Chains A and B, each alone.
Chain A
Amino acid sequence: MTGTEIARDRKAAVSARALSKTFGQGDYAVTALDSVELDILENEFFTLLGPSGCGKTTLLRLIAGFELPTNGSISLQGQDITDKPPHRRPINTVFQNYALFPHMTVAENIGFGLRMLGSPADQIRQTTERMLALVQLEAMAGRRTDQLSGGQQQRVALARALAPAPKVLLLDEPLAALDLKLRKNMQLELKSLQAETGITFVFVTHDQEEALTMSDRIAVMKSGQILQIGTPRDIYDRPTHRFVADFIGDINILEGTVQHTDGDLATVRLKDGTSVSAHLATTSARSGNASVAIRPENVRLAGAGETPTLTGVLENVVYFGAATNLHLRLGTGEEIVIRNPGAVDEGRYQTGATIGAVMQPDLTRVLE
């Protein structure tokens, strides 16, 4: 797949091999991370995406060194760092709550890492100034951190983590506490900061939209495992698991049985007897029960004289400016959503009407 192809021609910044983490013991043991294999590349904006409790933060804390793995190893640019304490890893973290030192000024916070590394005072001052300029907080250098707004604190946390020029920057849901507008701005700023500094960013979020807009590659996690690693397009257009498809964006999922396969194209018989053709998400030929998935924007209303793939009763029409969602109830009792760009003819598409829908075969997928 595309994700692994990239991995072959670029060097890995962070690699995890058979990485596992179990909290507690005996009957109370909870597996937070289960044999994770991962290569995060140099100069990459890599996102760990998943619902809360999926292990993404645990993975981040293992890379930072705040937790020690139960099994497996982590390496940084080919060197094993599994047993190194956090202060010996050239990796810095932007914490979810920023964790700025309240007893220091903004400038002292930013200079802290270099001070602990024993850098000369001159260099600390210069780097601090450069970082303050980078995050546009020159005027705030002497302020105490509790006198800053949330967005400014976020910037200080970023500057503090970037100042010692780490090999990898870890970001633990750093935008979660910001309001929507600020979050959108910071998303773009972070992205351009990453390009500017050339530092590998590992970003943790549960916000799929954030992951899609910012990342070079995304790893989707669930219950301590990585389900799929790929570019945002891979993840969105070619999800391999039903969970991935469901978690990212809206998707229609219909249950059926695989009739026969031809290459990576399969014919699936849905519960009401209709046959649809779809791409197999994984190369392993499939038979038996399967889920057929298609994004609402890849289903369209059947034109006049066109043979629809599916027919159903229109239950709901939801107009939201750029598009209209039409909710169709199929004969099987399942629901399918059609996203029609712009408005629809209200006279023709009234609730209760029987409507035909066309699924584009090349964008329909059979999921694991």
Chain B
Amino acid sequence: MSGREPHTALAAAIAQNRRNKRVTRAWLLAPALTIILAISILPLGITVVYSFLTPGTYGGVTWEFSTDSYVQFLFQRDIFDDTLVFNSAYVSIFLRSIGLALGATIGALILGFPTAYFIASKPREQRNIWLFLITLPFWTNLLIRTYAMLLIIRDEGIINIMLMKAGIISSPLTILYTDTAVFIGLIYSFLPFMVLPIYASLEKLDFSLVEAGYDLYANRLKVLFHVIVPLAKPGIVAGSILVFIPALGAYITPELLGGGKKLMIGNMIAMQFGASRNWPFGSAAALILMALVVVVLLLNALAARRGASNNG
């Protein structure tokens, strides 16, 4: 045993060294961990806690545990006998939001893919100018841009004036404060999120693959759907997620362009923290929305893994 004594000293030194390293690592990680904790975990925690509390009379919460907020999402409590009756109001708002967000995603894809392809097919030195133009709207606040869109599509807006001057229509088209307006606004707001990832995949596309497609008897349309689109799929998926998620929770666009008549999830949640003074229900609705987004992301991850294992 005595022969091992020097080793014990060495082992102690190594252990000390390891401890020191661990301390250093903890300090180095601290800023990042603090930020994640402060801006992500903490607010989320508060939201979760609030969703299980009882609403205060003038907003805020009273510290009494309750699952009412989640029950309220699907059911209405009968005022007289306290039985639960299915209430589709909130579910339909969710479904409407999902529908509008999906529509906006598809619309953005239809507009965004050709745009991205156009930029990717330009000479390298010109591409940055086009990309700059695509990102230019981000220099202005979304609220301002949405107001601008309001001016364009309202009854006395540019679109209606031009169509009427051209004699195509005799009375203005009512676009503003309809689902169409929300749809147009969502596409306009989030189009760059579709263009940029698709551009990133198309830019990497080896053009000789397109030539190989033509060489092997595929016409333009077949090359597009058998070669270009499959190869741009990662960009299309990323772009669709980047458009769908913010569109699902959009607040300003439906508020301004939809006239607040028909709610989307974002407006409904905002309302709970404002006029309705039901913070727990607002928190619960926000968490349900988040769960929905997580489900979408999980499905995507699952599909991606299945695709990879199929090919492997």
Residues of B at the A interface (CB closer than 8 Å) are 206, 208-209, 211-219, 222, 226-227, 230-231, 233, 311-312
Contact = CB atoms under 8 A, between A and B. Distances in A.
A64 B227 contact: no
A113 B211 contact: no
Interface string A86-106: 111001110101011111010
Nearest to B210: A99
Interface residues of A, number: 26
A144 B311 CA distance: 6
A113 B209 contact: no
A39 B212 CA distance: 25
Interface centre among A91, A93, A112 (most CB of B within 10 A): A112
A92 B212 CA distance: 9
Interface of A is mostly: mixed
B44 to A, nearest CB: 38
B217 A113 contact: yes
B206 A116 contact: no
A117 interface: yes
A184 B219 CA distance: 36
A116 B311 contact: no
A53 interface: no
Contacts of B226: 112, 116
Nearest to A117: B217
Interface string A58-98: 00000011100000000000000000011110011101010
A299 to B, nearest CB: 46
B216 A164 contact: yes
A87 B211 contact: no
Contacts of A161: 215-216
B206 A99 contact: yes
Interface of B is mostly: helix
Given A87-B219, A144-B311, A99 B209 contact: yes
B115 to A, nearest CB: 23
Contact of A103 (B211, B216, B222, B230): B230
A167 interface: no
Contact of B211 (A66, A91, A144, A160): A66
Nearest to B233: A103
B208 A164 contact: no
Q: Which 5 A-B pairs have the closest CB atoms?
A: A113-B216, A99-B212, A99-B208, A116-B217, A86-B214
Interface of A: 64-66, 85-88, 91-93, 95, 97, 99-103, 105, 112-113, 116-117, 144, 160-161, 164
Given A102-B231, A103-B230, A97 B208 contact: yes
A100 B219 CA distance: 18
20 contacts: A64-B215, A66-B211, A66-B214, A87-B217, A87-B219, A93-B215, A95-B212, A99-B209, A99-B212, A101-B212, A102-B231, A103-B230, A112-B216, A112-B226, A113-B216, A113-B217, A144-B312, A160-B216, A161-B215, A164-B217
Given A101-B227, A103-B230, A164-B216, A116 B222 contact: yes
Residue of A65, A87, A117, A160 with highest tally of chain B CB at under 10 A = A87
A31 B288 CA distance: 66
A117 B216 CA distance: 8
Contacts of A101: 209, 212-213, 227
Given A116-B226, A160-B216, A164-B216, A95 B231 contact: no
A103 B227 CA distance: 8
B78 to A, nearest CB: 56
A130 to B, nearest CB: 17
Given A102-B231, A103-B230, A144-B312, A97 B206 contact: yes
A116 B216 contact: yes
